[in-house]
């Protein structure tokens, strides 16, 4: 089975306000298989969001390679990268929905970016809103949704674009415990149902343990938990 996503010796540092640079990622390698859910844990500031943003092609490493389905993304043309980005689902800690748009319009957005007609995109988006239990909220604008509902729309939006990979960066970090637990269940069951692989960052060990593998980011390196 070929790896859908492969990171090879990723390195990243940032300038330090005191001068010099701080190494954040010191040679990260990781493979994600089709349908696999991998959780990454690590202390605040260890570089989890930096790693996810590089893997999702939202930022670039200083060195190292990101491969999607065996293709080195650094050799892709801008147009090819844009097409690949439209097939990457991202759920952030705060939902980042478009405020003036309805739950349905937000969910349909990736489909319309992919060139589907409005009708087709809406019909497809409705399936995903119903998967996250929000079929009765489709006309609500973002401001008219609760925190948990917003995250559920963000999950529906991430899955609607038929993503190659789903990235979730502390997707329930902004929710209270009860809401977080139910949103975690919804995310995991939706990802299982659609069969998309997911790279998940969480502080919540109980959530991480539901993944196929748990990796810890420490001192710029990624290791199996406990190593």
Ligand X SMILES: Nc1ncnc2c1ncn2[C@@H]1O[C@H](COP(=O)(O)OP(=O)(O)OP(=O)(O)O)[C@@H](O)[C@H]1O
Residues that bind Mg ion (CB under 5 A): 49
* Smaller CB separation from ligand X, 42 or 133: 42
Residue with tokens 């405020």: 99
Q: How far is the CB of 14 from Mg ion (least distance, A)?
A: 14
Select from 44-52, 75-83, 130-138, 141-149 the region that touches ligand X (CB under 6 A): 44-52
What string of DSSP letters covers 157-214? Answer: HHHHT--SEEEEESTTTTS-HHHHHHHHHHHHHHHHHHT--EEEE-S-HHHHTTSSEE
Beta bridge partners of 169: 201
Which ranges in the chain belong to alpha helices (H)?
Answer: 48-55, 78-85, 103-113, 118-131, 147-160, 177-194, 205-208
Give me the half-sphere count of Cα atoms (radius 13 Å) on the Cβ side of residue 148.
Answer: 15
The verdict on 45 binding ligand X (CB under 6 A) reads yes
Q: How far is the CB of 210 from ligand X (least distance, A)?
A: 19
Q: How far is the CB of 26 from ligand X (least distance, A)?
A: 12
Please pick, from the candidates 42, 96, 164, 174, the single residue that binds ligand X as defined by CB under 6 A.
Answer: 42
Would you tell me the crossing angle of helices 147-160 and 118-131 to the nearest 10 degrees?
130
The verdict on 46 binding ligand X (CB under 6 A) reads yes
Q: How far is the CB of 200 from ligand X (least distance, A)?
A: 13
Q: Give the pair of three-digit tokens for residue 175.
A: 């929710």
Select from 38-46, 71-79, 81-89, 119-127 the region that touches ligand X (CB under 6 A): 38-46
Q: How far is the CB of 168 from ligand X (least distance, A)?
A: 13
Select from 48-56, 80-88, 125-133, 149-157 the region that touches ligand X (CB under 6 A): 48-56
* Smaller CB separation from ligand X, 1 or 18: 18
Residues 135, 163: contact at Cβ < 8 Å?
Answer: no
Q: Which 3 state secondary structure label does DSSP give 119?
A: helix
The verdict on 47 binding ligand X (CB under 6 A) reads yes
Select from 2-10, 40-48, 78-86, 157-165 the region that touches ligand X (CB under 6 A): 40-48
Q: How far is the CB of 49 from ligand X (least distance, A)?
A: 3
Please pick, from the candidates 2, 9, 14, 212, the single residue that binds ligand X as defined by CB under 6 A.
Answer: 14
At a CB cut-off of 8 Å and minimum separation 6, what does 84 contact?
57, 68, 73, 76, 164
User: Which residues lie near ligand X (CB under 6 A)?
Assistant: 14, 24, 42, 44-50
């Amino acid at each position: 089975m070929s790896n859908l996503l492969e990171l090879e010796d990723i390195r990243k540092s940032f300038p330090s306000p005191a001068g010099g640079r701080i190494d954040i990622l010191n040679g990260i390698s990781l493979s994600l298989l089709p349908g696999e859910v991998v959780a990454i844990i690590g202390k605040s500031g260890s570089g989890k969001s930096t790693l996810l943003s590089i893997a999702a092609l939202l930022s670039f490493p200083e060195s190292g390679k990101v491969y999607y389905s065996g293709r080195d993304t650094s050799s892709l043309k801008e147009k090819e990268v844009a097409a690949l980005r439209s097939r990457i689902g991202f759920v952030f800690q705060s939902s980042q929905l478009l405020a003036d748009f309805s739950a349905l319009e937000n969910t349909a957005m990736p489909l319309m970016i992919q060139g589907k007609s409005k009708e087709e995109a809406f019909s497809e988006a409705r399936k995903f809103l119903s998967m996250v239990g929000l079929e009765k909220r489709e006309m609500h604008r973002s401001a008219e949704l609760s925190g948990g509902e917003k995250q559920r729309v963000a999950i529906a939006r991430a899955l609607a674009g038929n993503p190659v990979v789903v990235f979730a960066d502390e997707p329930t970090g902004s929710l209270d415990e009860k809401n977080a637990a139910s949103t975690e269940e919804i995310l995991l069951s939706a990802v299982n149902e659609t069969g998309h692989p997911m790279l998940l960052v969480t502080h919540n060990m109980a959530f991480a343990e539901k993944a196929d593998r748990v990796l810890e980011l420490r001192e710029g390196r990624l290791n199996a938990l406990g190593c």
